[in-house]
Structure 1
């Protein structure tokens, strides 16, 4: 195991932060896997899973059981980790700029033009050339802020990986995963091992999130390059939501770390044990554009009428909103059928506040599919 650090651009005199990564496995291995946790820094369940994963990978490396290069960043957001306001942890947004830490990653704007100049008829050689162009672009890109330098540091660690796993958690949620339609065949075994209750698919969710900074770039290249300059299928990227923020336990973290190890065995990244049989897939994959987001039509006390993980039918009651002055109750009912996979953790809402989401099989949304 090799520990590396990347210093971030200092925001003010006397302050320095760094991204810490752990590198496992043989440098010459053909497969590279990148795993990070808590890009939204207040995602404690993801960090605890990464702690156990680091311990297990170190044991496996000592036994010579790693057949892939594995990079692990157990705490991907040191900026957000330091953001506490009157005792409240604020990890999702950069308090300096208001930007979401997992949106608008560098999109390699000049890559297509450069690819048209240098790619040839050999698809595998083109894979190497595209990665080379990505590395050059990242080296040339000059960050303006500490936030920018954090995003750049994470991309420099991950841009040449074959598999990118981004560990998050939601507010109150069941285990669920996000990936692309093209990536789903590779991610389905992982969803089975994790016991994921919702599998949400989108090629372009509209937010330039970390996972799509990898998968979407290669997908676009494949669409735009001519047949005489073939681009191979790019990396598989997945965002895993490790339940909700309060689901912090040794048992959950061990379960999730074990599932990731089982998946790495299936990918032939580990050689210590036979591949475990796949558990049942608990729910089929559905389009992210099909998930319904519910909002508060009025302000008041929020009372939940459904439990996280429930199978919901059209017109089922999801939320009651109680006016504290009049006692009037407004009920929010489901407009779709699916799994109630996430909801907000607050119990008093303002008008227009997002409340929660239910999966759906038919696309009903377009444009930016992610929340703020």
Structure 2
């Protein structure tokens, strides 16, 4: 019953690369679901989650519980997964073009003959998801509480996803997202004005180092429950009430490093902070007490993400917070470059 729907895309050298993908199709009426992970190839947690989820979905199909179809792409980016430099994977940006892997999807999908292998990969991935009703793109932040991005047209209907995954924050966006994958999925739905039974979300599964069997099982269980609730699997579930907070993307506060130096966090992720409260400091010249710069929260809110390394370059995003009013640092588009 499981079908191999793997993609073949050109490497930077032109040689073919395989994007492993599998589809379970019940042949019965139901939602069409597309799940993928690793568009940014250095975000590993979702790969393990889908690896954990696939056998459970196969079992449901064998038991005759599957309705509709589900496609899984556990490691979506073969271009980025090969970018190891000095023992570390550099997955966010395509080295030959310096382009963020998760930007420019609509432009690539619109090309009849994609110009370059990055565009060819983006078009192939977008085409694979084009007929889906529910699309979840699994990512991670540097270090973060679990949170989701949802377009305003899916809110509050998308609370079931946030509840199933235990997301602490839902960031609600509108307009465009600088060409991220979810934008190419949602574009025809926006043109139709039809959203019943549909959902697309970028799901942030905590931080890049949060890769473990326990967390993967927890997230796979959450996804399975969500898919049951949405009718893909004929199994009764009761989702918990969502107790997180929904924040317009323009109210999210991003704090940048004013200088390079040793980064010391004084508040933990998930902490509630007050406006003007210090949450970290940067020691620009260790040994010189006068070189310490204190970083404070611009608004009262929840500490959502923070920089992974503890030596920070000037201009890097040190942390993000929820806010109850528009941020002075945000302009249109995605939250991150």
Distance 1:107 1:3 in 2: 27
Structure 1 gap segments, 5+ residues each:
109-136, 223-230
Please say if 1:354 is aligned against 2:317.
yes
Q: What is aligned with 1:255? A: 218
- Tell me, yes or no, if the aligned pair for 1:287 and 1:362 is still in contact at 8 Å: no
CA deviation string 1:320-341 (max 9, x = no partner): 0112252321101001122111
* Secondary structure of residue in 2 paired with 1:166: strand
Distance 1:313 1:204 in 2: 30
> How large is the Cα RMSD of the aligned pairs?
1.8
- Selected match of 2:119 from 132, 140, 148: 148
Q: What is aligned with 2:200? A: 237
Q: What is aligned with 2:282? A: 321
- Shift in Å at residue 96 of structure 1? 0.9
Structure 2 gap segments, 5+ residues each:
none
Equivalent residues in 2 for 1:220-369, closer than 5 Å: 221-222=191-192, 231-233=193-195, 235-271=198-234, 273-276=235-238, 278-325=239-286, 326-328=288-290, 329-364=292-327, 365-369=330-334
* Secondary structure of residue in 2 paired with 1:78: coil
Q: What is aligned with 1:3? A: 4
Bigger strand share? 2
Larger Rg: 1
Aligned length: 331
- Tell me, yes or no, if the aligned pair for 1:204 and 1:216 is still in contact at 8 Å: no
- Tell me, yes or no, if the aligned pair for 2:30 and 2:232 is still in contact at 8 Å: no
- Tell me, yes or no, if the aligned pair for 1:21 and 1:71 is still in contact at 8 Å: yes
- Shift in Å at residue 217 of structure 1? 4.2
- Tell me, yes or no, if the aligned pair for 2:177 and 2:183 is still in contact at 8 Å: no
- Relative to structure 1, the CA distance from residue 30 to residue 39 in structure 2 (aligned partners, 3 Å threshold; closer, same or farther) is same
Equivalent residues in 2 for 1:74-153, closer than 5 Å: 74-107=74-107, 141-153=112-124
- Selected match of 1:218 from 175, 189, 206: 189
- Shift in Å at residue 29 of structure 1? 3.0
Distance 1:261 1:189 in 2: 12
- Tell me, yes or no, if the aligned pair for 1:197 and 1:339 is still in contact at 8 Å: no
| TM-score, normalising length: structure 1 | 0.85
- Shift in Å at residue 103 of structure 1? 0.7
Distance 1:162 1:295 in 2: 37
Please say if 1:171 is aligned against 2:171.
no
Moved over 6 A (4+): none
- Tell me, yes or no, if the aligned pair for 1:19 and 1:153 is still in contact at 8 Å: no
